[in-house]
Structures are given as structure tokens and as C-alpha cells.
Structure 1
């Protein structure tokens, strides 16, 4: 898998940090400045900074910015590990496309049995205690996979299964560690209920839009700090 743009930017900034061009405890330029300097999008900048934070080279402070950490605390070779997987933004973009359409088809063509399975998966996930991370994660996966199954297109199911497997590694683990909260889980449950209601009501366009809105929220949550 080719090196992603955010990985190239992360490597460039890592070199500047290790050479001392960016001093320990100094604040990096704003993401807008970095995007302009390196001629990339702000999304690319955010992913690069998150990768460097996961590697111990930066600390991102909410509403303050990214600060250089001492190199002795950094992991060596961490960027090479990221090259084996698609970037988080890529994964979420593809999920938006695939899951929006699977919701549309589930509402349009899903059997009554398949729709009951969606409703049951949604209810089971909503019943998981907020602090039970593994069970909540697995319940959420079951819910999304039940929609893909109801679309009656096996490729949706297989592609989503692949994309779900990409939600691992240092960037995802770091993100989950910093954004996991009761408030966010309540939002996930509410979004899932909106999707479920649209599918059960056989409203294909509303189902598609609800899922796309949920993934947009995920993207915003992932790439904000």
C-alpha cells in the first residue's frame, strides 16, 4: 500500500523535530499555516499531527495547538507501521459511501426478518453500559453489519467487514483514548436510532442521509482537537 500524504507530512515534521529545527516544548505553527507551507489540506495536517502524537513526538492540547515533545520519549519506527493501513479519514470516507448506500438498499429491499435483526442489534447495543468498551464496540459493529447484510448485496457486507478491521493501530487507539466519553456514546446511540427508524419505516433516502450524517459526525470527531 502506497505511502499516504499525511504520512509524508508526518515524516517531514519528524525529521525537523529530530534535527532540532522544531524545539522541545515549542508550539507548532497553526494547521492553516502548515497546510499552506506544505501545500496540503487541513485534514492531511490533522492526520499527520495525530500520527506524531501517537508516536510520542507531539502533544495536542485542546484549543491550544500541538507541542513538540522531547525526542527521547518518542517511539522509533512508528511511522513505518502506519504505512500498512489506510488513513483514518480514508476509512471513514469509504464507510460514508458504502454504508449510506447499504442503508438505502436495506430500507428499500430488506426482508422483514433482516429489518428485525437491525432493530434487535440496535436495541442490544443501546443497552450496553456506557463504560463497557469492548461490548459496546462489538455491539456497534453488529448493528452496522446487520444493515449491510439487509442490503442483500454481499459486497457491501464484505467491504464493510474489511473497513472495520482497519480500525486498529496507534492512530485509532490514541483517538479512542482521547474522545471516548459518555456524551459521545449517547450521540452514537441516538444516531443509530435515527438510522434504524428510517430503515424500519422503509424510507430509503432518509436512511441514507441519517447514516451519512452519522459518519460526518465521526469524521468531525476524529479530526478535531
Structure 2
């Protein structure tokens, strides 16, 4: 089995694209193959290609121009490449999909178990986040983590709690790609407002003790996160992100197929 088939994660694909750039195939300012073409060439999903391109963009090797494509920024001898080595091989899209499945159902169960004092603590976290709008992004993210962990802890189920902790700590807090994304893109005030509103919707569903509404609110929150990430990696004009679309359609019970 060849090297490409053995390496399907975004980091390995990103390194192979980087080798392709440094091989001299492309000149400075030249457009790279499309997302779809790269997906076919490396025999991997378009989500993985997006993650690989985000990594290369953060390293200063490529730039993604809305509606135009991916462009090699400069010649290899002029580029100072930053090292982004993940301690986990899990990419952002893969993580968000897993969180959608797992955390949405954790929230549904939490709605049937949560106590008044836990609801009060969640409300306090939301209020603190509101105070951090336009403020400390690191504190805002710490409160974000605290919010999701409190929901898991309210289930009183150690397996679910450990799953929630592992998903966050193994990727969000140790993967340099996530740290770069957070520092450069994911803490704009408009995004903070979106996350805050999502948290308010989740809290409202939990206060109503509605398992269905809590499940949907968390699913939508993470779908919003995924869509924002897709905007950062929006490589092709008219790209519908088919792999992500079909994932949502297959698993979200509240997902409605758009009318033609």
C-alpha cells in the first residue's frame, strides 16, 4: 500500500502538499489545483483537504482567495515556514462532527437529569461570557469549555463526562492548529456573539427540561462552528461542502433537506 493511502489525516496531507510546493512545480503567486482535484489526487475527503489548506495558510505558505482558489504565496527560499505539529491526528472538521453526535445526545440526557444549582451555574457562565465580549479571548474560551463540561457533568455519568473531557483536551487544548485558528480567526466579536447566543439557546432548552430541544440546540451550535470554520477554508466558489452536507443530513433528526 502506497504512502498516500497510509496517510489520510490533514497533517500528513498538508505535508505532502507542502512538499509539492517546495518541489518547484508551482511558482510564487500561482494557483494550486482546486479542492476537488486535491481530494481526488490524495484520495481523501474534501474536509481533510480543507484542514490541510488551513494548516498551510497558517504556516504562511498559501493564501485562499474567495471565489478564486488557493495560491502559493512565495518561492520556497523566501518563505519562513512555522512548524505546526499536532499531538493529535484529529482535525477540526472531524472533531466537530464527533462533538455534534456525542455532545448533542449528552445534552439531551442532561436535560432530564440537570439540577437547579447546575442550571444556575450554567447561567453564571453565560453571564460571564457576555461580560467578556470585546475582552479577553482566552477567558472567553475557558468559559466556553466550562459551559460544555458543566452540561456533561450534570449527567452524573462518568463515561459521558470522560468523553466530553477527552474530546476537548485531546484536540482543542493541545493541537497547535486549533490554537492558531483561535488566535487568528475564531475570536472576532461577531463570532463570540454567535457562540454566546448559541449557549443561551442551549441553556433555555435545559431550563425547559426538553431533551429534544437541548439536542437540537447543541447540534446547531456545533453546526454553526463548523460553518464558520468552512468559511475560513472556503476554497472554491460554489463549493457546497458535500461531505459535510451529507453528514448533517444523515445524522441530525431535525435536519431538513433544502428545497430545490
Which whole-Å CA distance do the structure 2 matches of 1:137 and 1:83 have between them?
20
TM-align CA RMSD: 2.1
The answer to whether residue 204 in structure 2 is matched with residue 197 in structure 1 is: yes
Query: Which of 62, 69, 76 is 1:65 aligned to?
Result: 69
Gap runs ≥5 in structure 2 = 1-5, 235-260
Residues 21-100 of structure 1 mapped to structure 2, 5 A cutoff:
21-70=25-74, 71=76, 72-75=78-81, 78=83, 81-82=85-86, 84-100=88-104
Task: Structure 1: give runs of 5+ residues left out of the alignment.
Answer: none
Give the TM-score, by structure 2 length. Answer: 0.77
Contact 1:54 1:170 in 2 (8 A): no
Q: Number of residue pairs matched?
A: 222
1:180 is aligned, of 170, 187, 210, to 187
Match of 2:113 among 109, 114, 118: 109
Q: Secondary structure at the match of 2:172?
A: coil
Q: 1:179 to 1:129 in 2, by over 3 A?
A: closer
| CA deviation after TM superposition for structure 1 residue 125, in Å | 1.8
- Determine which structure has the larger helix proportion and give its number: 1
- Say whether the 8 Å CA contact 1:125–1:143 is kept in structure 2: no
**What TM-score results when the alignment is normalised by the length of structure 1?**
0.88
Retained in 2: the 8 A contact 1:128–1:135?
A: yes
1:83 Cα deviation (Å)?
5.8
1:208 Cα deviation from its structure 2 partner: 0.5
Q: Does structure 1 retain, via aligned residues, the 8 Å contact 2:205–2:213?
A: yes
**C-alpha distance in structure 2 between counterparts of 1:63 and 1:153, whole Å:** 46
1:223 match: secondary structure: helix
Cα deviation code 1:51-70 (max 9, x no counterpart)? 21222221223443221133
